[in-house]
Amino acid sequence: MDTVTAQRDLAEQRRHPHHHGHVDYERQIDYDLNRHSPSLEELQRIPGWGSDLDKKNRPAVPMERTPPRFIHVTAGQPVQQAQTVEVFCSPERPGITPLFGTAQPPKWLSGSMRRLAYKLPENDLRHWLMLLAADRVNMVEGIVDDLAHGHVPNVLGEMGIRAELRHNPAGLVRKALIATAVVGGILALRNRRRHY
């Protein structure tokens, strides 16, 4: 604090002795806040800063629609979509939702696993574990389906090996070591059982 401010505070305290130094403390806070307030250039680097400013200064204003979308939403429930494929529904909810996806209808073993999972309530852990396992089985089914249709899938490319090698080589090495250890452990256990 500079000497002018200190002399002004001292004079203030003499005029109002009941402040007991509060004026000095408040002036020090004001001084600290003003000294550490960021500049406009520093604030503009913060993502999302200024979103509540005047619309003329918002970068998203040209993309905003006037009037906004969905302003005339019809009252009531949406029209029920026609059910052309099997749709699973939780036993805890009545019926299917008005709109649902039809791009991946359940089929083969993964479909049976999902069908079985949806017979269980959502608070049952088996429900979610079966759905997770069905996703993995569905991935293998997709590879088999590709091969059956004469298409050899680029499994390594679809796994993102090239990008992983370029951007995360340490992670790729770690994954390769873990996969090697798991496969080696399984082979070692199989060989051990054969000897007994």
- Residues whose CB falls within 8 Å of the CB of residue 122, separated by 6 or more in sequence, listed in order: 90, 92, 128
d(CA 148, CA 143): 9
More confident residue, 44 or 181: 181
d(CA 46, CA 83): 48
């059910």: which residue's tokens? Answer: 83
Is pLDDT above 70 for 28? no
More confident residue, 75 or 71: 75
Crossing angle for the helix pair 22-36 and 3-15, to the nearest 10 degrees: 150
The pLDDT tens digits for 131-158 are 999 999 999 999 899 999 999 888 778 8
Q: In this predicted structure, what is the pLDDT of residue 162?
A: 86
The pTM assigned to this predicted structure is 0.49
The pLDDT tens digits for 80-131 are 888 899 999 888 888 888 888 888 899 999 999 999 999 998 899 999 999 9
Cα–Cα nearest to 128, from 90, 166, 100, 160: 90
- The arithmetic mean of pLDDT across residues 69-87, rounded, is 80
Q: In this predicted structure, what is the pLDDT of residue 177?
A: 94
Is pLDDT above 70 for 32? no
Question: pLDDT class for 39, splitting at 50, 70, 90?
Answer: confident
